[in-house]
Amino acid sequence: MKVIRLHQEEQEIIQLAVDKNRHAQQQIYSKFAPKMLSVCRQYIKDIHQAEDVMITAFMKVFVNLKNFESKGSFEGWIRRIMINESISFIRAQKKVSFLEDEYYKEEGFNNIESNFSVEDIQSLIDNLPEGYKMIFNLYAIEGYKYKEIAEMLGINEGTSKSQLSHARKMLQELINKMKKYQNGTE
């Protein structure tokens, strides 16, 4: 039986890609592109724009690959670049604004019932205003803390909390509408 050294193999591929080996870069792209397109798509509604952002972000991955320090997961490092590039794209489109709202109320958020498809859930999230959607994704999907979100977006922590609260409330309303529609009561 042969023992496969996954981590070392990944490090070798990364080093080859740092040395501009196109085959190694293609391996990295092929392995991570489907997942990273999904990451970009969470922030950007149009699939073609999300793909363009992903490709631009991969260019940044390859340019900055020499800076990867192997302290965390390689996939996580790539994911962070995808998120930052998606946020930059949205900002450049001037489609996002954050209301300075210090008031927020932490509300319970019911789990989305399992009869909703992934597409239904993504559609609901896509219907949020860009600022709400961005903060919801960063908090609920990516797991960032309020302070990290505030730093990433250049807003204060209270604003990130209130925007998330508003996003959750709006999502709950959209979910209720969808349930009523599916049940034929609306």
| Side chain identity at residue 122, one-letter code | Q
Q: Are 85 and 56 in contact (CB under 8 A)?
A: yes
| Sequence-distant (≥ 6) Cβ neighbours of residue 94 within 8 angstroms | none
How does pLDDT run along the chain (186 residues), one tens digit per residue? 554 444 568 899 999 999 999 999 999 999 999 999 999 999 999 999 999 999 999 999 999 999 998 888 999 999 999 999 999 999 888 766 555 555 554 554 445 455 678 888 888 899 999 889 999 999 999 999 999 999 998 888 999 999 999 999 999 998 888 888 777 776
What span, in angstroms and rounded, lies between the C-alpha atoms of 47 and 119? 13
Q: What is the pTM of this model?
A: 0.75
d(CA 141, CA 138): 6
**CA–CA distance, 119 with 41 (Å, rounded to integer):** 12
CA dist 181 and 40 (Å) reads: 29
Q: Residue 41 is which amino acid?
A: R
